[in-house]
């Protein structure tokens, strides 16, 4: 009666008889490192830098590097926590407005006689508060972060402009402004590379080497499975938003001192550059994928392209167009790569399905 039934196997109890062994990875290490978006971005960065050094006069001068670092500092700072937010599958569009509102608050507090250090701390805390508002609206009310942060983008910018109107506070002591733009000795290497490197290392550790970071990725890939596995989804997302607000506050203080100006329209459009850098750095807009080294590559790429175009005499509009194109290209290329790899993975069954002819013969496999 039975055609080809096989008796169910009955493995020995305790499973100690044959112990399976597993490799850490199905692919060798060099291949694993090379076949990532991070590697692609860093490769692209090297190519763009090499081209610029050869083709654009003065690109390799110390002064270029100096301005490059000072210009990308706020993008880099905010890109770090933004990576955490995007890895969870959310987004924060209000960061540039938080930079503006903290910059204005910093200015107003100082003008009203607060010590600069205290004003800076309060501004940073205000940034964290702004991030907490975003995070609470997203987690407690379950609203989509895209809508929430478009709202707060307008709201925080409005508060910033409302506080100062069209005026600016430009009366900053030289000791503070010089500290931000200081360089190491006679070189043109700005001192701020040190705090930037520390921040990048801290966020790298947080994302890649802590249980909190594992939770971020799990949420981005499947927030339900994460919840069922003991990841506090709401708290994790809230922390990511608060960190983004806090770091945006730090960027606001930096921005004020770097340009010696506290204004309501500071950092307009910065969120675009931050998000472009993060996505260019290989972080998936759908969450669950990304790495800090790639993001650093993305930030540098945005910075280098901007600075090369400026040295080449291109206008700000051109730079903005290039940034926009890069943003779209990075999302499209990720989608394209995903599609290609799915096709490749699906190839064998597809071939097998196509194999039997319309009138199959017995045992067509």
Residues in the site for another protein, rule: CB under 8 A? Answer: 1-11, 13-15, 19-27, 205, 209-211, 213-215, 217-218, 221-222, 224-232, 288, 348-349, 352-353, 355-356, 358-360, 362-365
Give the nearest distance from C-beta 141 to another protein in angstroms. 17
Nearer to another protein, 195 or 364 (CB): 364
Give the nearest distance from C-beta 142 to another protein in angstroms. 14
d(CA 259, CA 290): 32
Nearer to another protein, 209 or 336 (CB): 209
Give the nearest distance from C-beta 230 to another protein in angstroms. 5
Backbone φ, ψ for residue 285 (5° rounding): -65, -20
Count other Cβ atoms within 10 Å, centred on residue 100: 30
Nearer to another protein, 98 or 334 (CB): 334
Give the nearest distance from C-beta 250 to another protein in angstroms. 22
Backbone φ, ψ for residue 336 (5° rounding): -65, -45
Nearer to another protein, 112 or 353 (CB): 353
d(CA 353, CA 340): 19
Under 8 Å between Cβ of 326 and 278: no
Under 8 Å between Cβ of 195 and 70: no
d(CA 209, CA 228): 22
Give the nearest distance from C-beta 203 to another protein in angstroms. 14
Give the nearest distance from C-beta 327 to another protein in angstroms. 24
DSSP 168-200: -B----HHHHHHHH-BSTTSS-BTTHHHHHHHH
Nearer to another protein, 219 or 276 (CB): 219
Q: Which residues contact 355 (CB under 8 A, 6 or more apart)?
A: 364, 365
What is the 3-state secondary structure of 269-283? CHHHHHHHHHHHCCC
Give the nearest distance from C-beta 353 to another protein in angstroms. 5
Nearer to another protein, 7 or 313 (CB): 7
Give the nearest distance from C-beta 246 to another protein in angstroms. 19
Nearer to another protein, 12 or 186 (CB): 12
Backbone φ, ψ for residue 166 (5° rounding): -95, 5
Burial class (CB in 10 A: 0-12, 13-18, 19+), 56: middle
Count other Cβ atoms within 10 Å, centred on residue 2: 5
Which residue has 């994302």 as its token pair? Answer: 207
Question: Which two tokens mark 168?
Answer: 């600016």
262 DSSP assignment: B
Nearer to another protein, 1 or 117 (CB): 1
């Amino acid at each position: 009666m039975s055609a080809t039934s096989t008796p169910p196997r009955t493995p020995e109890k305790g499973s100690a008889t044959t112990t399976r062994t597993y490799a850490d990875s199905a692919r060798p290490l060099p291949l694993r490192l090379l076949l990532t978006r991070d590697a692609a971005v860093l490769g692209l960065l090297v190519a763009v830098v090499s081209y610029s050094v050869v083709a654009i006069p003065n690109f390799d001068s110390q002064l270029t590097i100096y301005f490059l670092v000072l210009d990308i500092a706020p993008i880099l700072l905010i890109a770090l926590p933004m990576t955490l937010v995007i890895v969870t599958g959310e987004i924060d569009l209000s960061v540039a407005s938080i930079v503006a509102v903290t910059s204005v608050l910093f200015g107003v507090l100082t003008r009203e006689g607060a010590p600069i250090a205290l004003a800076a701390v309060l501004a940073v805390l205000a940034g964290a508060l702004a991030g907490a508002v975003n995070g609470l609206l997203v987690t407690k009310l379950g609203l989509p972060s895209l809508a929430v942060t478009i709202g707060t983008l307008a709201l925080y910018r409005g508060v910033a402009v409302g506080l100062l109107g069209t005026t600016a506070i430009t009366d900053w002591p030289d000791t503070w402004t010089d500290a931000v733009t200081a360089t190491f000795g006679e070189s043109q290497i700005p001192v701020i590379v040190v705090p930037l490197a520390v921040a990048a290392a801290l966020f790298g550790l947080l994302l890649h080497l802590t249980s909190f970071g594992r939770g971020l990725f799990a949420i981005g890939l499947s927030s339900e499975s994460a919840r069922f596995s003991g990841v506090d989804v709401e708290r994790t997302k809230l922390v990511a938003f608060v960190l983004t607000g806090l770091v945006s506050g730090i960027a606001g203080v930096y921005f004020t001192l770097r340009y010696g100006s506290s204004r309501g329209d500071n950092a307009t459009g910065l969120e675009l550059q931050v998000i472009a850098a993060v996505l260019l750095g290989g972080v998936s807009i759908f969450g669950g994928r990304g790495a800090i080294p790639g993001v650093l590559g993305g930030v540098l790429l945005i910075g280098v392209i901007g600075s090369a175009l400026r040295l080449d005499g291109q206008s700000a509009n051109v730079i903005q167009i290039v940034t926009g194109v890069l943003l779209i290209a990075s999302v499209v290329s990720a989608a394209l790569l995903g599609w290609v790899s799915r096709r490749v993975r699906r190839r064998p069954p597809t071939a097998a399905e196509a194999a039997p002819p319309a009138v199959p013969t017995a045992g067509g496999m």
